[in-house]
Amino acid sequence: MAWLKEHAGVRWLPAAHCVLFTDGRPSGRLGPNAPEELVLDRASLHRVRSVLGTVFEHFRLAGWAHPDDFGRVLAALSPAATVERTVGYDVDLTTGEIEALTRRQIEFTTEQLEVLEATSNQRRSLVLGAAGTGKTLLAQTRSRELARAGGAVGLIGQPRHLRRQLRESLQASGVCCGDAADVLADAFGAEAFAGRRDDELWITAVELAEAHGRPFDHLIVDEAQSQNPYLLGALEDLVRPGGTTLLFADPYQRDATGMWRPDGDYNTFWLTRNCRNALPIAKLVARISGAPSPRSGPDGRRPRAELLRAGRAPRGRPRRAGAAAGSAAGPARRADPQRTRPRAAAPGTAARRCAPGRPRGLRRGVSWLRGAGGGVRRRRVRQH
């Protein structure tokens, strides 16, 4: 503070402090030096002006001594400097450029554009489609568009293996993104979940909406068929009057009939063009799963399907570990002279031994005969 007063040339500096948790929020009290007013989370950035006003009121700060003091302090805190480029900087810059280039190269199909247009003026919409038809891409695109227009947007149900990356990318665009617990924590604060179980999440959503109001102008749910039906209904309580609800779902992930539908009345739209696999593969998958066969898609080679019996490996592929171990043990067992030596048999009798590697019941074999004089001789015989 003394340094800032000296370099900015001000006598009075109305300063306050707070702590911001960018991913999550601690539950419970943090002690007398960290009251609730000074603990912020990422959702607070959506209402930064009112939140900072609360922080200043907590410290009961007076204004600036001179109208120009704020400009002097800001100039001292924001010096002009040049940062030398490093390899790490170039890598980060290249990654960002690749992501931006990828977005520019995405070309929506006519069907996808029609669905985006048709759902833009609907309060409750349901978009159905099999895997690979672009549901997740449309969900993210619509959420960014609504956030850029100034709406408060919640996007639920993104892929778990991309959860962190998508949260960082979409939250930078002003979208609350993640699973249902993530979005509720961003909207109401993580302390709301203290002592609650996951199976009571739908009750939590209803109680928080009743206690604190509805936080979103628009709610988008991806993979809606995987959500708890009670939770799916409770999430609509998070949408303000006049807002919109948009669900994306793959009904064939619930059963082969594709008859799954959420409760309530929705304007329903279908995506039928597969954009993930080549058309021959998409048709084969549709035949196996019972889903409708796609009519169009990128060309590709026709896949070959093999019907395998239990314990049998496909042609051109190694056997299972157990089978490989058994075949590897066979030559070693035959190479052991103690094991290959025939057992003694009664005079005039034969002890039949199959040829190495042949199952029992084949026609060719090896017999060992003990003669009357006690000698053992080997002969090859043909079994009938």
Instruction: Encode pLDDT of 113-153 as tens digits.
Output: 999 999 988 999 999 998 888 998 899 999 999 999 999 99
Instruction: Please state whether beta strands 19-21 and 39-41 pair in parallel, antiparallel, or not at all (unpaired).
Output: parallel
The answer for residues whose C-beta is within 8 angstroms of residue 7's C-beta and 6 or more apart is: 76
Helix axes 180-188, 163-171, angle to 10 degrees: 40
Burial class from Cβ neighbours inside 10 Å (0-12, 13-18, 19+) for residue 43 reads buried
Report pTM: 0.54
CA-to-CA dists, residue 264 to 23, 113, 135, 154, 261, angstroms = 34, 25, 21, 20, 9
The answer for residues whose C-beta is within 8 angstroms of residue 376's C-beta and 6 or more apart is: 342, 368, 369, 370
pLDDT mean over 83-106: 59
pLDDT beyond 60 at 342: no
Quote the pLDDT of residue 255: 75
When pLDDT is cut at 50, 70 and 90, the band that residue 284 belongs to is confident
- From CA 1, how far away is CA 13, in angstroms rounded? 8
- Cβ(342)–Cβ(351) below 8 Å: yes
pLDDT mean over 222-228: 91
Q: Would you tell me how many other CB atoms lie within 10 Å of the CB of residue 41?
A: 22
b/e code 15-32 from CB counts within 10 Å (16+ = b): eeebeeeeeebeeeeeee
pLDDT beyond 50 at 313: yes
- The domains located in the chain, with CATH, are 2-77 (no CATH), 108-272 (3.40.50.300), 276-303 (no CATH), 338-382 (no CATH)
Quote the pLDDT of residue 248: 96
Q: Where do runs of H (alpha helix) occur along 120-248?
A: 135-148, 163-171, 180-188, 201-212, 229-235
CA-to-CA dists, residue 374 to 349, 369, 371, angstroms = 12, 10, 5
Helix axes 163-171, 135-148, angle to 10 degrees: 30
When pLDDT is cut at 50, 70 and 90, the band that residue 353 belongs to is very low
- Count how many residues are written for the chain: 384
Closest CA to 64 of 8, 3, 7, 2: 8
- From CA 176, how far away is CA 155, in angstroms rounded? 6
- Cβ(68)–Cβ(216) below 8 Å: no
pLDDT beyond 80 at 351: no
Which has more confidence, 309 or 318?
A: 309
Helix axes 201-212, 180-188, angle to 10 degrees: 20
When pLDDT is cut at 50, 70 and 90, the band that residue 101 belongs to is low
Which has more confidence, 326 or 238?
A: 238
Closest CA to 296 of 108, 118, 133: 133
pLDDT beyond 90 at 266: yes
**Of the candidate ranges 50-59, 184-193, 226-235, 316-325, the one whose mean pLDDT is the lowest:** 316-325
